[in-house]
Amino acid sequence: MSTTNLDTARRYFRAIEQGATGEALAAFFHPEVKQIEYPNRLVPTGATRDLRALLEGAERGQKVVASQRYEIRHTLEQGDHMAIELHWSATLKVPVGSLPAGGTMRASFGVFLTFREGRILTQHNYDCFEPF
């Protein structure tokens, strides 16, 4: 049975929800992965990450987020390119801005993925956080 890029994207976001780190998370990425996070409230200057930085970020996230949920709203696919509109929410372990520990942070994300050999080669994030 073949796996589509949309199947892979859905499994990827579920894995993040379940707290995947290390090899469990790396399995979704092509070894040459490059992620670009455009400037937003949490990362004001934006960021560019390779596989190592993505995995380190997942580990750091475990210290801040108790749980998180990704709701895929819309997808568009053309070949190995995919655009995804997501709604994200997370319960915080620590205070962030005006949100207390135990509070919920919310955002809408535009995520653009490119796949190679069934794995994520590029990921571009446009993250729009609700006020916090």
- pTM summary value: 0.94
Q: Binning pLDDT at 50, 70 and 90, where does residue 1 land?
A: low
> Residue 2: pLDDT band by 50, 70, 90 thresholds?
low
Model confidence over 70-125: pLDDT tens digits?
Answer: 999 999 999 999 999 999 999 999 999 999 999 999 999 999 999 999 999 999 99
Residue pair 37/109 in contact by the 8 Å Cβ criterion = no
pLDDT at site 39: 98
Q: 60, exposed or middle or buried, with CB in 10 Å at 0-12, 13-18, 19+?
A: exposed
Q: Which of 119, 125, 89, 98 is nearest to 29 (CA)?
A: 119
Question: Is residue 59 packed enough to be buried (19+ CB in 10 Å), middle (13-18) or exposed (0-12)?
Answer: exposed
